[in-house]
Structure 1
């Protein structure tokens, strides 16, 4: 099972759930159910983007995966699109949560609303199985694939399932209240649960957005930088180089590492094969080889080339 297949199936399942939710939400008159469905629609739209990005990244790694024109236009690859999609996804989820909260506050101020909780209960029970079933299925496959896009999709299924679980509890409470002396509280159940869900969901995408923007702005991952520095310092000491400069960035699943070793102008002449052997040795020490690593190692006697 590939990343692309998993994301494609997730998209289909999400659109089905969203259409089902919008239909029952309008039928029951529940703003909370409609919010849950809108959340799913945004999630599905972002998953479509994730699928496109994942496909481009995989195709760019294959020799004949892209057309000549597309490869010439994006000669550095498509890694930079992954954090952009993650940032857009997280920001959209924050916006829809803020909208849900404002809608709930306005509804409470106008005396609330009383939807058909029986229909809402049917929606909550049936979709809950789908949410947590998809989450478990994707989690099992992602233990092997280790995809950030699938991990984000798993969190989306978890958040959607949490919303539905909260809806289920609130609808049960509303049905019970209708038969008690506290029936006056029933119109407030739907907007209150919508407010609680919105407040709970709003901060969840913030770490995703923060991480995505750190990659968009090419902020150096300090742990990886420390590992690269240690390897470079050993190479400087072992081969008598004057100094080095290392530049490290993580962009989505891609790692970009550029290393410049400053050699003395009077360094004895060596063959290209000898320099390549040294590059291979340093690259092996850095590890993480593969199509998602962009590694450049330069030897120069001019500091200007390294700055």
Structure 2
């Protein structure tokens, strides 16, 4: 529970068990909403497995413990895989919700479907307890881990808890209208609840998909670029350089920074150690030193090398 990989493993195990129980209860109770909840969870679990593999690759690459042909073919690390997985996860979950919404609308138009509310309520209560507990555990752990994968996993558990709570309310209403004048509404409760749940789910991964696309397309993060430019301008003034060029990108948890300093042609010669000292000064000023920062600093008298 103290590492990203350990937390994701526990999440995968709990998700698979919960998904299996959901599909079983959905079939027994006749609720397509519960079946969808189980299938949705299995999809999320499958993507979490991929996220765990990528997380292990990134961790092993950052610590230098990675071995074999895979690391040999990815000498610049595995950060670029993280936004791909996050984006694919969001797209798959959104697609599953859209498909379920279409099925729910079709079921409503056909007159709904019968549902065993007793079994549906039992499933909803158990699921809410488990999902709330997992959301709390993941959120607390991520205060230290600060992982995008764990953050997405915690968000998924919170989503699941909220949506299952909505299903529980619908099932309880359906249970209490049995034997009343409103019993004719019973067949519509499951598809209507599913449709409402899907309408809530569909836009939720949009932020994750948008950020993942930005990372994949190497869109420059404005705040990081401003910080790097401010540091570089200070260095230019302090050491008498002419100007600088900064290239910045966020790729998953990785920060890729390339800095070029244009030095006057008549600049007095310096030892290599002195240039390295300037690099150390720049690295400290930029901050966030660690395995997830890729910092390249070059000095040249020819601006074409920097443009």
Same fold (TM over 0.5): yes
How do 1:22-37 and structure 2 match up within 5 A? Answer: 22-37=23-38
1:69 shift after superposition: 2.3
Alignment match, 1:287: 287
1:243 shift after superposition: 1.2
1:223 shift after superposition: 0.5
Whole-angstrom distance in 1 between the partners of 2:179 and 2:201: 31
- Unaligned ranges ≥5, structure 1: none
How do 1:64-83 and structure 2 match up within 5 A? Answer: 65-83=65-83
Moved over 4 A (4+): none
Alignment match, 2:228: 228
Aligned residues, how many? 306
Alignment match, 1:38: 39
Alignment match, 2:177: 177
Alignment match, 1:100: 100
Alignment match, 2:59: 58
Q: Secondary structure of 2:255's match?
A: strand
Whole-angstrom distance in 2 between the partners of 1:112 and 1:256: 53
TM-score (norm 2): 0.98
Whole-angstrom distance in 2 between the partners of 1:48 and 1:6: 12
The root-mean-square deviation of aligned C-alpha atoms, in Å, is 0.8
Alignment match, 1:7: 8
Whole-angstrom distance in 1 between the partners of 2:109 and 2:69: 57
What do the CA deviations read for 1:98-129 (whole angstroms, capped 9, x no partner)? 01110110000000011111111111011111
Alignment match, 2:123: 123
- Unaligned ranges ≥5, structure 2: none
Alignment match, 2:19: 18
Alignment match, 1:203: 203
1:68 shift after superposition: 4.3
Whole-angstrom distance in 2 between the partners of 1:139 and 1:171: 29
TM-score (norm 1): 0.98
Q: Secondary structure of 2:134's match?
A: helix
Whole-angstrom distance in 2 between the partners of 1:196 and 1:229: 47
Q: Secondary structure of 1:245's match?
A: strand
What do the CA deviations read for 1:231-264 (whole angstroms, capped 9, x no partner)? 1111111111111100000111100000000111
8 Å contact from structure 1 (residues 39, 160) kept in 2? no
1:179 shift after superposition: 2.4
Matched, 1:161 2:189: no
1:36 shift after superposition: 0.6
8 Å contact from structure 1 (residues 101, 195) kept in 2? yes
Whole-angstrom distance in 2 between the partners of 1:68 and 1:269: 43
Alignment match, 1:253: 253
Whole-angstrom distance in 2 between the partners of 1:285 and 1:54: 28
Q: Secondary structure of 1:246's match?
A: strand
8 Å contact from structure 2 (residues 15, 41) kept in 1? yes
